[in-house]
Amino acid sequence: MKKEFICISCPMGCPLTVWEENGEVLVSGNTCPRGKAYGIQEFTCPQRVVTSSVPVRGGEQSMCSVKTDKPVAKTEIAKVLAAIYGASVKAPVKVGDIVIPNVDGNGANVVATRRVLDRKK
């Protein structure tokens, strides 16, 4: 079965065709090596960076944006989001602070992408 994708690895946006033949995943349409790697990854195990936000206790802002520090398998996104929805952080929060370690069981951490200071007393 052939699948078609638009490569998002660089600004070119190459239209890729990806299929399996004799146990090998083949890619056509890419103009750079990143396109081939993207096509193979998207065909065999699509992954995405997950972004969301978590409540902040005692912070100047009530929410802090977060994301996974590496892509997670699409099949794990619901599990990752459930963990994020159940999480909160205590101020102060720095960009890069780990909010949930190893959220997918494969080494992806949920990290803060915004600084939140303590609420002034």
Would you state the pLDDT for residue 117?
97
Would you state the pLDDT for residue 121?
58
- Note the pLDDT tens digit of each residue in 29-88: 999 999 999 999 999 999 999 999 999 999 999 999 999 999 999 999 999 999 999 999
Domains identified in the chain and CATH numbers: 3-44 (no CATH), 51-112 (3.10.530.10)
- Note the pLDDT tens digit of each residue in 6-37: 999 999 999 999 999 999 999 999 999 999 99
**Would you list the DSSP string of the chain?**
--EEEE--SSTT--EEEEEEETTEEEEES-SSHHHHHHHHHHHHS-EE--EEEEEEETBSSSEEEEEESS-EEGGGHHHHHHHHHT--EES-B-TT-EEETTTTSSSPPEEE-S-BPBPP-
